[in-house]
Amino acid sequence: MSPVTNTVHSSASTAFGKASADNRAALVGYLPAGFPTVKAAIEAARAMAAAGADVIEIGLPYSDPVMDGPVIAEAVHRALTAEAVAATGVPVLVMTYWNPVDRYGVHAFARDLALAGGAGLITPDLSPEEAAPWLEASDERGLDRVFLAAPSSTDQRLATITRSCRGFVYAASLMGITGTREAVGGQAEDLVQRIRPHTDLPVAVGLGVSNGAQAAQVAAFADGVIVGSAFVRRLLDAADAAGTAGTAAGTDAVAELAAELSGALRRARS
């Protein structure tokens, strides 16, 4: 990250609060950094925000993406700062594995992320027990920190995870890697209900949501819906169809999906 200006970052909790006030679940949209190009990635993320995404999640590359499925792993290969996307006013969270942050320097990463306007981090491979440096650095910079809860997590484990979160809690709807699926994991609702007694933070469900019907299903029991691979697939399909000329088509396809999902979330509780 090489921030140029000191951008004031907005928090994910604020975005979730606005969605709740509108009687709907929040939409969290994921895109990998720099795909298919840095410029195109920025345009796609901005289009996603304009079409209704409440929070943007930007994935940073890592050589051993232990959680990423084939769609995201194929696309994550270039770097993108949060600054250009944060200018939309939508909170931007960086999703990254811990090794790049550790190598960058935890306090330096937190400083530069905050200066770039980033809202915080989602760290899928960092356990709360090993997160002391990040907890300290994020406190200093007022950054959100999002840890993942899995269906296999015990109640004691959920208590530990939620105590360390700020912004929202990420509930993985199923065990396994990321990717679109025909149906949302049946364990998702049970996991959300098990998380509730341990925190007042919003709970967002991710892994497997790919269309408006599934988003509406999740909105019935969760505070937010996280969609990643379905957005990435739109970009990949456009690139496969038209090469570099597919950039504009990919941006349009991302915006179309964001509008579909956002509309479904607005209708789900009407």
Domains of the chain: 12-268 (3.20.20.70)
Average pLDDT, the chain: 85
Is it the case that residue 114 has pLDDT exceeding 80?
yes
Q: How far apart are CA 18 and CA 21, in angstroms?
A: 5
E strands of 154-233, at which residues? 169-172, 203-206, 224-227
**CA distance to 1, 36, 42, 114, per residue, from 79 (Å):** 8, 11, 11, 17
Does residue 94 have a pLDDT over 80? Answer: yes
- Dist CA 61 CA 95 (whole Å): 9
Active site residues: 57, 68
CB 73 within 8 A of CB 59: no
pLDDT for 176 beyond 80? no
The string of pLDDT tens digits covering residues 20-36 is 999 999 999 999 888 88
Confidence of residue 209 (pLDDT cuts 50, 70, 90): confident
**Residue 185 pLDDT:** 53
Q: What is the CA radius of gyration of the chain?
A: 17
